[in-house]
Amino acid sequence: MQVKAPRGTYDILPPDSSKWHYLEKILRETAALFGYREIRTPVFEHTELFERGVGESTDIVNKEMYTFIDKSERSLTLRPEGTASCARALVEHSLYNGLLPVKWYYIGPMFRYDRPETGRFRQFHQFGVEAFGSNSPYIDAEVIILLVEILNKLGLKNYELHLNSVGCSVCRKEYREKLISYITPVKDRLCPDCRSRYQKNPLRVLDCKNEACHQAIAGYPTIYDSLCDECREHYASVRKALDDNGVSYKHDDNLVRGLDYYTNTAFEVHIPGIGAQSAVGGGGRYNGLVKECGGPDVPGIGFALGMERLLLALDNFDDLNKRMTDVFVAVMEGQYEDIGVKILTDLRRAGIRADKDYTGKSPKAQMKYADKLGAKLVILLGEDEVKNRFLTVRNMKTKEQVKVGHDEIIDFIKRELEVS
Ligand code: HAM
């Protein structure tokens, strides 16, 4: 019987893997530009980390975790997100005692037992950043500017940035009570999910996708109106910093995010047109998380982008995909294979992307293959070339052919590639 990849997972094959390289390059370069350095954490953690960090009333912890008992009877979970692991690592290595803020980024697979559809997988990839140790509204702005900069560099223009403040532990507590009192009389009109969770987590009713829930709670008190002075000021400063730096956003009263650790600033980026799962990224401040992970009271803020969704939004990869090599060495007669391989090695050692055929293709088929690989130049090696000690270089675009001496070939190819 044939064994297939598990539902919600997939293989990344060439040429698609080039898209990933391209995306990862932009993500890493932009993070470095803003002073964020890479952290790599384990793919599985103690289940308790996510229960405590992400929160027991969240969908992630309740329904979506890949949890298993290992051979020593420990409960472990494949990470559903990266923030809790970063907070754990900060505490474990006592980095809160060092130079602050600590600014990290990560790239890697995450796992959620979600219903697979376009843009939603069970193993997916996130790029995330986390900044620990500053409560300044300007670092909130920095993180959001970094997110927007990434989208700009990728050439994504039609994104929508939604922003809200979910308050601190004090004002949110009051707001929760207010919201529960508002919802209780209309609870029977809510969807089954909201009906069962509104007592524990009333804020989730605000971002329920079900239209009936929205109608039932129309006119609800907003969290913005319940913010304490400090939270209101913080939010105003974040907004001003974004305005000052030319970042457009929309204040969104319904934005509450699906993870429990958020405090104050919360944001999400949507790209309409990539399907029902239009949220390409989201994040916010989480001032209580480090303490929850056993550390001191250290604030934090960050975001994560869904890489599959970013790739869905990008459709300008054709050129990139086609060009798998720059130079193709076409050996016209089998007995000269050894010379062809030597030229190939010289090219590669000189840092030139080069390739050849290894399946005995005819000269005509080799030219077709070179074209398929996207080669700009083909080095032809036949009897005439070997006997008279030169090489023929064909420009695949102009179809021009020139004779070049063996000793000059590397310099010649480099010059040609520069102008092409
Ligand atoms: P999140 O909103 O749960 O936040 O996930 C961030 C992004 O990951 C989403 O916007 C989406 O693009 C992508 N994503 C989530 N689930 C899936 C899935 N099943 N398939 C494909 N893509 C998915 C977090 O994970 C927080 N840790 C973000 C954060 C960092 N907050 C502060 N720091």
User: Phi and psi for 91 in degrees, rounded to 5?
Assistant: -70, -45
Alpha carbon of 282 to ligand 1 centroid (Å) = 6
Q: In a 10 Å sphere around its CB, with 0-12 CB exposed, 13-18 middle and 19+ buried, how is residue 44 labelled?
A: middle
Question: In testing the pocket of ligand 1, which one of 50, 126, 309 has its CB within 8 Å of the most ligand atoms?
Answer: 126
204 confidence band (pLDDT: 50, 70, 90): confident
Query: What pLDDT is recorded for position 236?
Result: 98
320 confidence band (pLDDT: 50, 70, 90): low
Instruction: Pick the more confident residue, 101 or 419.
Output: 101
* Lowest mean pLDDT segment, chosen from 54-63, 130-139, 376-385: 54-63
What is the mean pLDDT of the segment spanning 223-241? 97
273 confidence band (pLDDT: 50, 70, 90): confident
Atom of ligand 1 nearest to the CA of 82: 27
Query: What pLDDT is recorded for position 317?
Result: 54
318 confidence band (pLDDT: 50, 70, 90): low
Among candidates 104, 107, 165, which has minimal Cα distance to 287?
165
Tell me if 306 CB under 6 Å of ligand 1.
yes
What is the mean pLDDT of the segment spanning 17-34? 95
233 confidence band (pLDDT: 50, 70, 90): very high
The full set of domain ranges for the chain reads: 16-168+228-313, 323-419
Among candidates 111, 58, 62, 104, which has minimal Cα distance to 83?
104
**Contacts with 383 (C-beta within 8 Å, 6 or more apart), sequence order:** 332, 333, 336
- Residues of the chain above pLDDT 90, percent: 89
What is the mean pLDDT of the segment spanning 387-399? 96
- Residues of the chain above pLDDT 70, percent: 98
Q: Read off the tokens for 153.
A: 């560099």
Task: Please tell me the residue having the least CA distance from ligand 1 atom 18.
Answer: 120
* Lowest mean pLDDT segment, chosen from 154-158, 266-270, 289-293, 349-353: 154-158
Query: What pLDDT is recorded for position 321?
Result: 56
Cβ–Cβ under 8 Å, residues 263 and 166? yes
What is the mean pLDDT of the segment spanning 201-222? 90
CATH fourth-level superfamily of 16-168+228-313 = Bira Bifunctional Protein; Domain 2 (3.30.930.10)
pLDDT at 86 over 70: yes
**Contacts with 285 (C-beta within 8 Å, 6 or more apart), sequence order:** 140, 262, 263, 264, 265, 266, 299, 300, 301
Q: Read off the tokens for 184.
A: 């209780």
Task: Please tell me the residue having the least CA distance from ligand 1 atom 25.
Answer: 81
201 confidence band (pLDDT: 50, 70, 90): confident
Instruction: Name the CATH architecture for the domain at 323-419.
Output: 3-Layer(aba) Sandwich (3.40)
Cβ–Cβ under 8 Å, residues 100 and 133? yes
- pLDDT tens figures, 68-83: 999 999 999 999 999 9
Tell me if 82 CB under 6 Å of ligand 1.
yes
Alpha carbon of 262 to ligand 1 centroid (Å) = 13
Cβ–Cβ under 8 Å, residues 210 and 194? yes
Cα distance between residue 218 and residue 273, in whole Å = 27
Q: Which helix (H) or strand (E) holds 250?
A: strand 250-251
Tell me if 140 CB under 6 Å of ligand 1.
no
Tell me if 55 CB under 6 Å of ligand 1.
no
- pLDDT tens figures, 399-412: 999 999 999 999 99
- pLDDT tens figures, 237-254: 999 999 999 999 999 999
Question: In testing the pocket of ligand 1, which one of 81, 280, 287 has its CB within 8 Å of the most ligand atoms?
Answer: 81
Sort residue 3 into left (φ over 0), alpha (ψ -120 to 50) or beta. Answer: beta
Cα distance between residue 139 and residue 234, in whole Å = 11
Q: Read off the tokens for 85.
A: 């692991």
**Contacts with 82 (C-beta within 8 Å, 6 or more apart), sequence order:** 41, 106, 108, 110, 126, 128, 130, 304
Alpha carbon of 130 to ligand 1 centroid (Å) = 13
Alpha carbon of 259 to ligand 1 centroid (Å) = 10
Query: What pLDDT is recorded for position 73?
Result: 98
Would you call 204 helix, strand, or coil by DSSP? helix
Query: What pLDDT is recorded for position 209?
Result: 83
Question: In testing the pocket of ligand 1, which one of 7, 110, 139, 293 has its CB within 8 Å of the most ligand atoms?
Answer: 110
197 confidence band (pLDDT: 50, 70, 90): confident
Query: What pLDDT is recorded for position 316?
Result: 52
pLDDT at 315 over 80: no
Atom of ligand 1 nearest to the CA of 286: 32
Alpha carbon of 31 to ligand 1 centroid (Å) = 18
Alpha carbon of 110 to ligand 1 centroid (Å) = 9
Query: What pLDDT is recorded for position 178?
Result: 94
Alpha carbon of 126 to ligand 1 centroid (Å) = 7
Alpha carbon of 337 to ligand 1 centroid (Å) = 51
Tell me if 279 CB under 6 Å of ligand 1.
yes
Task: Please tell me the residue having the least CA distance from ligand 1 atom 16.
Answer: 120
